[in-house]
Amino acid sequence: MLHVKLAYTFTRAGGMRMQLDNPLFEILSAVHAAGSVGQAATRLQLSYRHVWGELKKWEAALDAELIVWERGKRARLSPFGEKLLFAEQRAKMRVHPQVENLVAEMEREFALAFDPDVHVIPMFASHDLALTRLKEFLARDAGLHLDLQFGGSLACIEALSRGDCLLAGFHVSEDRGQGSMAHKAFKALLKPGRHKLIQFVGRQQGLMLAPGNPKGVAGIEDLKRADLRFVNRQPGSGTRLEIEQLLARAAIAPSSVNGFERAEPTHLAVAAAVASNMADVGFGIQAAAAAFGLEFLPLLREQYYFVCLKEAVDGAPIRKLRELLARSEWQGLVADLPGYDIEGAGEVIALSRALPWYSFRKPK
């Protein structure tokens, strides 16, 4: 049984916040991507001797072959090496929100200790790849600290109403008319005259499939097939509501979908499950599928909103956030995320305009 020990460091550089790095898996990933130990060493800027020695050391420690060494052929990961690498990737994607939450909590405390003038925006939000970039952008260019906690869309809005955060993030599909599941879930939580919406990003959601689509999945109707293993998002998430809505429109009972109750906490964890052949199809955002080199079948467009209380929308932290969302510098940082668009970013809109369940002569 292997035991995991975590540690953290301080840095002034930007980049990915989730630093769950391990030298062994860096080597395995490089060999998997490059196709040889020599090219892996070049990618890692290490000597061939060092990489070869590390692999041999770990093979002895694990009592298992990590690399297939065949005379005259390029080295490749053994079946165990592949399995070990994918296990690490799945585990990292599953704990990604918790690690981000831990980093956010620690950074908030350190920010308050080192910079008493910093604006801290406590935020509960549904998982999104652009939010991590936004957090780094705000801290670097604006002196704003986004104290980001990931959770399901519904729970995040509830946290806002309880006063646990200043800002919440949720997403809703374009199929959000009267009687939709989004209508039933969100109308009781969002109150005209109390809440204000701020546009963040638009996203494409759809089916994530193995490269080449070997199962020949053509649409939502294929989820009824017994040979397809599905991986879902957790109950209470906006993505879970959307797949349930799509199934209802197609007259497909969730119980007829193989694996419907198997849930992952993030889009990246869903993509990792498909990439590691633990599932044949998942539902999530296009950018997560692209991150794992998966096929993507778009099914809907959705809008991701920030929501705050009416009295907070013109306060200094939220006002500054809105201004920065409209800046070209920020929008350029999102341009390379597949399936994203930033139309109207930072604009404050009334509930009656964004959500068709509210109808007033004058927006409240």
Q: What is the pLDDT of residue 104?
A: 81
Examine the pLDDT at 239 and tell me if it is beyond 80: yes
Single out the residue of 298, 355, 313 nearest to residue 170, CA to CA.
Answer: 355
- Quick one: DSSP state of residue 220? G
Give me the DSSP letters along 105-148.
HHHHHHHHHH-TT-EEEEEEE---HHHHHHHHHHHHHT-EEEEE
* 316-338 confidence digits (pLDDT tens): 899 999 999 999 999 999 999 99
* 271/4: higher pLDDT: 271
* 142-177 confidence digits (pLDDT tens): 678 898 999 999 999 999 999 999 999 999 998 766
CA distance 122 to 107: 12
Examine the pLDDT at 292 and tell me if it is beyond 50: yes
End-to-end CA distance of the chain: 59
* 62-105 confidence digits (pLDDT tens): 999 999 877 767 778 999 999 999 999 899 888 888 888 888 88
Q: What is the pLDDT of residue 363?
A: 46
Domains recognised in the chain with CATH numbers: 23-77 (1.10.10.10), 89-354 (3.40.190.290)
Three-state SS annotation for 273-313? HHHCCCCCEEEEEHHHHHHCCCEEEEEEEEEEEEEEEHHHC
pTM of the model: 0.70
Q: Which of 110-114, 289-293, 321-325 has the lowest mean pLDDT?
A: 110-114
Count Cβ atoms below 10 Å from residue 261 Cβ, excluding itself: 10
